[in-house]
Amino acid sequence: MPGSNPAPVSAPYWRTICPACRRPDIMPTSTSRPTGEGPGPAGADWDGVALVDAMRREALALGFDAIGITGPDAIPKAGGRLDRFLAMGRHGDMDWLVAKAARRGHPNALWPEARSIIMLGLNYGPDDNPLDRLAQVERGNVSVYAERKDYHVVVKKRLKTLARWLVAQAGGELKVFVDTAPVMEKPLAQAAGLGWQGKHSNLVSRDFGSWLFLGSIFTTLSLPFDNGEADHCGGCQRCLEICPTAAFPAPYQLDARRCLSYLSIEHQGHIETEFRKPMGNRIFGCDDCLAVCPWNKFASLARDAALTPRSGLGTPDLGKLLQLDDSAFRNLYAGTPVKRLGRDRFLRNVLIAAGNSGNGQLSVGIEPLLADPSPLVRAMAVWALLQLRGVNALASLAPAYLRGEADPDVRAEWATAISS
C-alpha cells in the first residue's frame, strides 16, 4: 500500500504478557462506523457516510492505523482542566502552554470556521519491552518514540496528502496539525474514538496500546462524527505506581515538574538533585507509565518502514556520547526528535546517566567536561564525578576548576559536592 512498507513481523514483547492475544470482539478503531453528524452547510452534493468510508480507506492506504471524526465542541471540559493545570504551575518551563492556552483549550478559538476534526493515529509499537532497557545501566535509554525519524515530519506529510485527497473529493477548507500547534490532541482523539486518556493522562488504545502518534485535520466540511471512546482503566493504577518520581498527584493528573520526560526534554535548566538518581539511564524521555499499561497486550509492531528505529539510538553507549561535540551530536541525531534538545542539555542528561551507571571507567570521559563551555554540562560533570570517584577525588580537582569558574550554579554544585 502507498506509504506503508510493512516491517518484518515478529511477536512484540507484550504478547508474552497475556497469551490471549487479540480479543475477537474488539474491532479496529479505523473501521468503526460514523454514528452522529455535526451541523454543517446545507445542500452538500456528496454523501457524508460514503465520503468518510472512502477517507478511512485512503487513510489506511497512506499508512495511518486509526482514524476517527469529532467536532470542535466535543471537549467542553478540556479548557477548564488546562486552566487548572496552568494555575497550579504544573507546566514548569513550558510557557508556550500559557501563551496559547485560550486557543489550546477550545478548538473553535483556534479556528472558528472548523466544523469537523479528523483525528488520525500512526502506530509506533516497539518490538521490545522499554522497561528492560532500564537494567542496561552502562547504556543510555532513549524513549521509544525518539529512536526513529521525527514523527512530526512523517505524520504531517501524510496528513497533507490526505487533506489534498479530501479537498479533491468534497472541497472545503482545512488545516493540518501535528503536536506543535495549540491543539489538545488526546482529548480530541478520545472524542473521535481512537482511545481514551488513561490515569497517566496519555492516550490508550484498545488496538494499539500506548503507542500512537497523533495528528489532526480541521475542516470546514460537516462530516459524520464517530462515537467517543469510554475509559477502560478500571481499578488499574500500574502507570501511577511505576512512576519513579511520583509525578501523578492523583489519577488523571500530571505534575510535569516531576516527570522525567519533561525534565529530560522540556526543562531548560539544571535538573534538581532529587530527580537525578531516579533518572537512572534515561537520557531522553521516559516510557515507564506507557510500557506498563496492560492494554499493550493487544498492541502490534509498527508496520511502517518510515518509523523503523535507527540501529543503536535506543540504547547508545554512554562513553561514546560523552565525547560528542555539537557537530557530532547533530550528525548522530539528525532527523530524530532528539536533535531539537541540543547538545548541551543532552550531555546534561548523559552525565546524569553516567553518574548512575556505577562504571568508574566513564570518569575518564567525564573529567574533561568539567571545563566544557556550557554551565549545564560543567555542573552535571561535577555531580557525575562525585558519584563515580567520591568526594576526596573530586576535592582534589576543585581548586583548579573553581579558580576560573564564574557561573553561580556550577560553583554551587562544586560546593555541595566537596562538602558532602
Question: At 420, is the pLDDT very low, low, confident or very high (cuts 50, 70, 90)?
Answer: confident
Whether 25 is catalytic: no
pLDDT at site 180: 79
Taking only the tens place, the pLDDT of each residue in 203-224 is 999 999 999 999 999 999 999 9
Give domain status of residue 23, yes or no: yes
Give domain status of residue 272, yes or no: no
192 shares a domain with 80: yes
Give domain status of residue 399, yes or no: yes
Check 93, 127, 179, 344 and give the catalytic one: 179
333 shares a domain with 215: no
Average confidence score pLDDT of the chain: 89
Average pLDDT over residues 374-381: 98
Residues 374 and 383: their CA atoms lie apart, in Å, by: 15
Question: At 6, is the pLDDT very low, low, confident or very high (cuts 50, 70, 90)?
Answer: very low
Question: At 46, is the pLDDT very low, low, confident or very high (cuts 50, 70, 90)?
Answer: low
pLDDT at site 303: 84
Give domain status of residue 266, yes or no: no
Is the pTM value of this prediction over 0.95? no
pLDDT at site 12: 36
321 shares a domain with 209: no
pLDDT at site 29: 31
Using the 3D structure, point to which of 207, 225, 243 is the last residue of a domain. 225
159 shares a domain with 37: yes
Average pLDDT over residues 188-198: 98
| Residue 24, pLDDT above cutoff 80 | no
Q: Using alpha carbons, list the distances in angstroms from residue 212 to 145, 155, 185.
A: 9, 11, 11
214: domain CATH number?
Answer: 3.40.109
Domain, as residue range, for 106: 13-225
pLDDT at site 34: 37
190 shares a domain with 82: yes
Give domain status of residue 84, yes or no: yes
pLDDT at site 174: 96
Question: At 45, is the pLDDT very low, low, confident or very high (cuts 50, 70, 90)?
Answer: low
- Structural domains in the chain (count): 2
Give domain status of residue 254, yes or no: no
217 shares a domain with 346: no
Question: At 32, is the pLDDT very low, low, confident or very high (cuts 50, 70, 90)?
Answer: very low
Give domain status of residue 28, yes or no: yes
Q: Which of 34-48, 67-81, 374-388 has the lowest mean pLDDT?
A: 34-48
| Residue 31, pLDDT above cutoff 90 | no
212 shares a domain with 334: no
Give domain status of residue 179, yes or no: yes
Question: At 3, is the pLDDT very low, low, confident or very high (cuts 50, 70, 90)?
Answer: very low
Taking only the tens place, the pLDDT of each residue in 136-188 is 999 999 999 999 999 999 999 999 999 999 999 999 999 999 987 899 999 99
pLDDT at site 15: 31
Using the 3D structure, point to which of 225, 243, 261 is the last residue of a domain. 225
pLDDT at site 304: 86
77 shares a domain with 188: yes
344 shares a domain with 221: no
Question: Which residue bears the cell 579558580?
Answer: 403
